[in-house]
Chains A and B, each alone.
Chain A
């Protein structure tokens, strides 16, 4: 038990503060800061979303009520972007957790002399999303990529582009999982190491197969961590912009124009700020909604246990 050592100054009674005032003293400056930095952009975006903003022929803001919101719902590019965002998110979450779990299992079984490999496997996590985007862009493109190299090694002189209109979202999800999975692996590994080895001996006595052992012994203590990372990965995948910006710029065509990318184009290329703001609230609703759903159908169950 961590107990103050004897050299510490003798405790003396002070006028004690209550939980509330202690909490307030510590957190008020931060909360005020957060309030400003969260509330201000939200309020401003909220204001923009009810206006039509024009830059040509002088700046003007015309109150248009809910028109922007209604237009979003009638905009086919909104629905197709939303579809891509959901596809990217679901794929990224599944791949990240599966690969993270795989890496964790490998790291767990490393013999002591090989533990240094852990320090290598973590590295992709330290790569920035824009860096990962650049890596996977060069790796996938027909002219420079590995597809063409492999084909050439097999005697072909064709280019093989891994960033194709049909599967660009899957390729993007794979790269996102490459970036995120090591962190998941390390948290899962930390959990795995707390499972008493005795349980594995018992599993052996019960003559469980490898899969049964994994399912009944290894997996149950990891479930809460897996839930937390499902939420974190969901939020990060839906917010992703720079990774997709450097990797595909929304292309080929608009095959990888996810919601954040479409928003960027509306606000920063077309300068249609009011419409962009309205659409950004739909994105925010989707992010909050998905984590909410995850919590209600999965998280509450995990907490009860």
Chain B
């Protein structure tokens, strides 16, 4: 690489890294600052005396700073702790169910010809296009009647309605691009289920992994339904619990601390996933 090319590449990389991290940094720094520091004008560019008070507070512990100031435990602590537990539960169950259900579905739609296929595909596409704001009221009314508001099972069902169509849509494209080995296997006399479970699934590993991760992220990051269906209940999820720091009594530091925690699982996953995304090709 020529000197000049290297210069431009380094410059581009620096810009890309700043673009990636600056918006996150700007809020995340609040997690280590006090209320007075955050209110300072002009805004502080970095925490001058970083402290972990907010991380203690959101889990229900008081925090005494070196200078004797006591930062009181947050009244939302119970919701945050419940929220973490519930978010993990919902995301794991939704991911498992979505993957189990969508892999065979996507395979069937990508590889077999059967009547009504076009119409069924259109139905899947339609459900991808439905905005949550317009399905919220019907779900809410139904859930009130069935007693499903404020329950984990209710939230899981509603989250599946988001993940299944979108993941199916992505995987159908992925399966279409796999080489048509199952015809050979079928000529060899293997059954359809054998072909699917022993040949297609191992071949499509990276696509399925990406699909599972997308299901996990959609579930972990879901906020609209959770806000209406489970806020304030024992089935609250982390995003819904966190929004207490945003709207009722704004607590930027505790909001930043819980937001930072909520980002860790997706970050770890995305970090390891990017190799597999590189193997995904759209049909």
Contact = CB atoms under 8 A, between A and B. Distances in A.
**A and B: bona fide binding partners:** yes
A126 interface: yes
A69 interface: no
Contacts of B135: 41-42, 45
A186 B278 contact: yes
Interface stretch (B49-57, B60-68, B69-77, B111-119): B111-119
Contacts, number: 273
Contacts of B243: 130, 246
A19 B266 CA distance: 39
B42 A246 contact: no
Contact of B239 (A128, A264, A291): A128
Contacts of A20: 114-115
User: Of B124, B270, B273, B281, which is in contact with the most chain A CB atoms at under 10 Å from its CB?
Assistant: B270
Contacts of B263: 126-127, 131
Given A4-B198, A178-B23, A242 B192 contact: no
Contact of A4 (B45, B199, B223): B199
Contact of B274 (A24, A118, A273, A280): A118
A268 to B, nearest CB: 8
Interface string B95-133: 000000110110111001111010010011011111111
A284 B115 contact: no
A149 B29 CA distance: 14
Contacts of B16: 102-103, 106, 121
Contacts of A291: 129
A135 B23 contact: yes
B81 interface: no
Interface residues of A, number: 105
A119 B127 contact: no
A248 B1 CA distance: 45
B209 interface: no
Interface in B14-38: 16-17, 19-24, 26-27, 30, 38
Contacts of A239: 129, 131-132
A199 interface: no
A109 B123 contact: no
Interface in A1-55: 1-4, 8, 11-14, 16-17, 19-20, 22-24, 26-27, 29-31, 33-35, 37-38, 40-42, 44-45, 48
A34 B220 contact: no
A280 B108 contact: no
Contact of A120 (B20, B161, B266): B20
A-B interface, 4 closest residue pairs, ranked by CB to CB distance from nearest: A128-B221, A280-B134, A152-B42, A126-B266
Given A121-B17, A134-B255, A145-B43, 4 more contacts: A135-B27, A238-B131, A241-B133, A268-B136
Interface of B: 1, 9, 12-13, 16-17, 19-24, 26-27, 30, 38, 41-43, 45, 101-102, 104-105, 107-109, 112-115, 117, 120, 123-124, 126-139, 141-142, 157-158, 160-161, 164-165, 173, 179, 181, 184-185, 188-192, 194, 198-199, 202-203, 217, 220-221, 223-224, 227-228, 239, 243, 246, 252, 255, 259, 262-263, 266-267, 269-274, 277-282
